[in-house]
C-alpha cells in the first residue's frame, strides 16, 4: 500500500495572510481542523515543513499537530526541514514518525532540488544519528540520480524522498519525455531499494500524473499538498483526499 501524507503548508499560508502570531488566536482556516478532515477522509499521514521565516507552518503548529496525530492510531507524522538547531531540537523532543531532511536555499519560494551528493556527510550523519536515537525514522530529500541516493545510504538514513517536480513537468509535456522521466525514477527507486532504503516521493504530484507515478516500484509514501489544497477550493478537502487515495490503490491503477 502506498501511503498518502497530506502536506498542510498551504492551509497555514492562507491562515497567515490574516493571522497575527502575536495575538495568540488560532486563525482561519484552522490547520488542526484541516488535519482532522484529511484523516477522517482516510489519509494515512500528515506532513509539515516549518521554514525559518514561518511563512506557513510555525513551530507552534508543529507542536500542536503532534498531539493531534498521536491520538490517531496508525497515522504517521512527517516533519520536513533543514537541520537548523531550533527545528532539530523540536524534532528530537516530539519524536515524530519521520523527519525528512530537505535542503533550503535562501529566498526560495519552494524546494528547488534535492541534496547534492557533494554535501559534506559528517554534519548530516551526526544529525541523523541524533534523530534516530529519539526513535524517529529519517528520510533524505534527493534527486532521482545514483550519486545522491548512494550518498543518502552512506549517511545511514532509512529512506529517500525523490524530488518529483521534473517528473511533473515531463508528464505535462507527454510523449517520450514522460516515459523517459518515469524510467529515470524507476531506476532510482530500484537502486534505493537495492541499497536498503525505503522510497518516498513528493513535489508537484497530482491526481493526473499519479496515474503513472503510482506504478513506481517500492514506493511507500507520497507527500502531496499544493495540488490537493488547490483542487479542494473547488471540490472540498475531504472528496479530494479520497480521490487521491483512490489513485494510490491497486484497483484504481488497473
Please tell me which residue in 49, 145, 161, 221 is annotated as part of the active site. 49
Query: Is 56 part of the annotated catalytic residue set?
Result: no
Whether residue 42 contacts residue 245, with contact meaning beta carbons closer than 8 Å, is answered with: yes
Whether residue 67 contacts residue 95, with contact meaning beta carbons closer than 8 Å, is answered with: no
Please tell me which residue in 76, 145, 161, 203 is annotated as part of the active site. 203
Residues across the chain? 254
* Angle between helical axes of 226-235 and 9-16 (0-180°, round to 10): 70
Please tell me which residue in 80, 145, 161, 221 is annotated as part of the active site. 80
209: which DSSP letter?
A: T
Provide the grid cell at 20: 497575527
Query: Is 80 part of the annotated catalytic residue set?
Result: yes
Q: Where are the alpha helices (DSSP H) in the chain?
A: 9-16, 31-40, 59-70, 85-94, 121-133, 146-155, 165-173, 175-194, 210-213, 226-235, 237-247
Q: If 0-12 CB within 10 Å is exposed, 13-18 middle and 19+ buried, where does residue 215 land?
A: exposed
Residues recognised as catalytic: 49, 80, 203
Amino acid at each position: 500500500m502506498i501511503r498518502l501524507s497530506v502536506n498542510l503548508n498551504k492551509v497555514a499560508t492562507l491562515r497567515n495572510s490574516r493571522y497575527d502570531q502575536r495575538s495568540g488566536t488560532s486563525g482561519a482556516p484552522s490547520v488542526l481542523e484541516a488535519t482532522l478532515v484529511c484523516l477522517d477522509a482516510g489519509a494515512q499521514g500528515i506532513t509539515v515543513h516549518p521554514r525559518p521565516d514561518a511563512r506557513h507552518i510555525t513551530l507552534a503548529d508543529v507542536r500542536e499537530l503532534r498531539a493531534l496525530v498521536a491520538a490517531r492510531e496508525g497515522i504517521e507524522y512527517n516533519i520536513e526541514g533543514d537541520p537548523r538547531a531550533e527545528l532539530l531540537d523540536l524534532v528530537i523532543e516530539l519524536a515524530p514518525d519521520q523527519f525528512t531532511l530537505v535542503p533550503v536555499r535562501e529566498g526560495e519560494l519552494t524546494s528547488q532540488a534535492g541534496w547534492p551528493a557533494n554535501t559534506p556527510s559528517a554534519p548530516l550523519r551526526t544529525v541523523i544519528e541524533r534523530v534516530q536515537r529519539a526513535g524517529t525514522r529519517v528520510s533524505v530529500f534527493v534527486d532521482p540520480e545514483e550519486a545522491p541516493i548512494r550518498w543518502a545510504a552512506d549517511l545511514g538514513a532509512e529512506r529517500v524522498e525523490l524530488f518529483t517536480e521534473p517528473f511533473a513537468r515531463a508528464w505535462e509535456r507527454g510523449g517520450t519525455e514522460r516515459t523517459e522521466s518515469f524510467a529515470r525514477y524507476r531506476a532510482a527507486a530500484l537502486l534505493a531499494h537495492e541499497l536498503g532504503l525505503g522510497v518516498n516521493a513528493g513535489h508537484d504530484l497530482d491526481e493526473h500524473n499519479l496515474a503513472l507515478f503510482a506504478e513506481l516500484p517500492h514506493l511507500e509514501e507520497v507527500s502531496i499538498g499544493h495540488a490537493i489544497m488547490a483542487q479542494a477550493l473547488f471540490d472540498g478537502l475531504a472528496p479530494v483526499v479520497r480521490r487521491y487515495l483512490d489513485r494510490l490503490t491497486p484497483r484504481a491503477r488497473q
